Amino acid sequence: MAVNADYTERITRAQVHLQELGIDLMLVTPSADLRYLIGYNAIPLERITALAISPHKAPFLVVPRLEISTAKASPFGELGWEVRGWGENDNPYELIRTSAGFDRGKIAVDNHMWAERVLKIQENFVGATIELAAPIIGAIRIIKTPTELDSLREAAAAIDRVHAQVPNLLRVGRTEREVGRDIADLIVAEGHSRVDFVIVASGPNGASPHHELSERPIQAGDPVVVDIGGTMPSGYCSDCTRTYSMGDPGSAYRERYAVLQQAQQCSTDAVHHGAISHDIDAAGRNELAEHDLAEFFIHRTGHGIGLETHEEPYVGENNPTVIENNMVFSIEPGFYIEGVHGARIEDIVICTPDGPESINQQTRDLVVIEI
């Protein structure tokens, strides 16, 4: 988890960005952004909690009165910044406005803020121009600190340990739901505090990238796509996909999988400081195209990961994001042939000064299970 010095630096960097962009006030409500900035894992309630940051003033946190003690026990309170409570008969938006000394100007709001909050801000901050805070917070979150990188490596190792045990769970006749339930138990047993998702897509269900667990029994010859992830006690996430086969899936599938494996390696090899997102995507997509599989690759190559499973940077076609050292994202090409089968290989990759570091270490080969 971040230390208090990290939170101080994040607030300072946010204030610098606010000044550069000419924004007078930024408001952040319960979300991954709030956890990132001040380490406070606030519950989203009907009563508003909001972090207020101005370019040249100390930040303050407005919380419902019944949440004051919890907020003060967070890293924000430990750093000595002010926590201001509001009662049932108070107007918290007026409290924010007067405490910030806001008259007119630009307000940035976090991307996950509820619509009713935004409307209340419009109502109470007359003359304000409201815009999204993504250019401010995203610019900070997108580059991971050494502490964050270690947390992500820990998460990757934990999900790798789960994948190492998946072959023991896959049996002909077991349903996807039965296998998924066992995988969920393993995700927690291997160190996660929460299961975020479990995809077990057998046979033709593998052609759906976000397949929901079903009662379909796993059959001989089925490829099985297993995409799993969770959140660690640190708050950082794991996400890894491997593909298994119940016996021999046939020569056509094995040939397609070999091409996919090469495509995944091509995109991984394209990762370096200064690379363009769409070029990383193209490296794998072009390999699939050479073998007539590109039309079956129906999603982007990857997404960033951190306190959320999906965050910046995104790696895909027509995406001009410039990759920098210490950005972290998935590389996960796949092919999905409707009514037939599918496959995906997914690693979390760190861009380092020495090139790409794949932090998932389980084999990328098709794992064939004897039946």
Predicted pLDDT at 127: 87
Same domain, 173 and 97: no
Quick check: helix, strand or coil at residue 313? strand
* 135 and 152 fall within a common domain: no
Residues 62 and 190 in one domain: no
Residues 166 and 297 in one domain: yes
The pLDDT, as a whole number, for residue 230 is 98
Q: Write down the residue that tokens 């990238």 correspond to.
A: 209
Backbone phi and psi for residue 187, each to the nearest 5 degrees, phi listed first:
-60, -45
Using CB atoms within 10 Å of the CB of residue 276, give its burial: 0 to 12 exposed, 13 to 18 middle, 19+ buried.
middle
Residue 106 confidence (pLDDT): 97
How open is the CA angle 203-206-207, to the nearest 5 degrees? Answer: 115
Q: Are residues 184 and 107 in the same domain?
A: no
Structural domain containing residue 200: 146-369
Angle subtended by helix axes 176-189 and 146-165, to nearest 10: 140
Among 107, 124, 141, identify where a domain stops: 141
Q: How far apart are CA 232 and CA 156, in angstroms?
A: 10
- Helix (H) / strand (E) element for 179: namely helix 176-189
**68 and 208, same domain (yes or no):** no
Same domain, 160 and 233: yes
**Residues 292 and 229 reside in one and the same domain:** yes
Strand ranges inside 181-239, DSSP E: 194-202, 223-231
Q: Are residues 65 and 137 in the same domain?
A: yes
Residue 352: the pLDDT is: 98
| 208 in the same domain as 85 | no
Nearest to 325 by CA among 359, 351, 355: 351
CATH number at residue 125: 3.40.350.10
> Can you tell me whether residue 17 is helix, strand or coil?
helix
For the stretch 177-223, pLDDT in tens is 999 999 999 999 999 999 999 999 999 999 999 999 999 999 999 99
Domain end point (choices 141, 162, 177)? 141
Per the confidence metrics, is the pTM higher than 0.75?
Answer: yes
Task: Give the tokens for residue 53.
Answer: 């940051």
Query: Would you write out the chain's pLDDT as a tens digit for each of its 371 residues?
Result: 677 889 999 999 999 999 999 999 999 999 999 999 999 999 898 999 999 999 999 999 999 999 999 999 999 999 999 999 999 999 999 999 999 999 899 999 999 999 999 999 999 999 899 999 999 999 999 999 999 999 999 999 999 999 999 999 999 999 999 999 999 999 999 999 999 999 999 999 999 999 999 999 999 999 999 999 999 999 999 999 999 999 999 999 999 999 999 999 999 999 999 999 999 999 999 999 999 999 999 999 999 999 999 999 999 999 999 999 999 999 999 999 999 999 999 999 999 999 999 999 999 999 999 98
Which of 113, 141, 169 is at the close of a domain? 141
* One domain, residues 154 and 116: no
How many structural domains is the chain composed of? 2
Question: Same structural domain for residues 102 and 213?
Answer: no
Q: Is 267 exposed, middle or buried (0-12, 13-18, 19+ CB in 10 A)?
A: buried
Instruction: Determine the pLDDT at residue 1.
Output: 62
CATH code, 203: 3.90.230.10
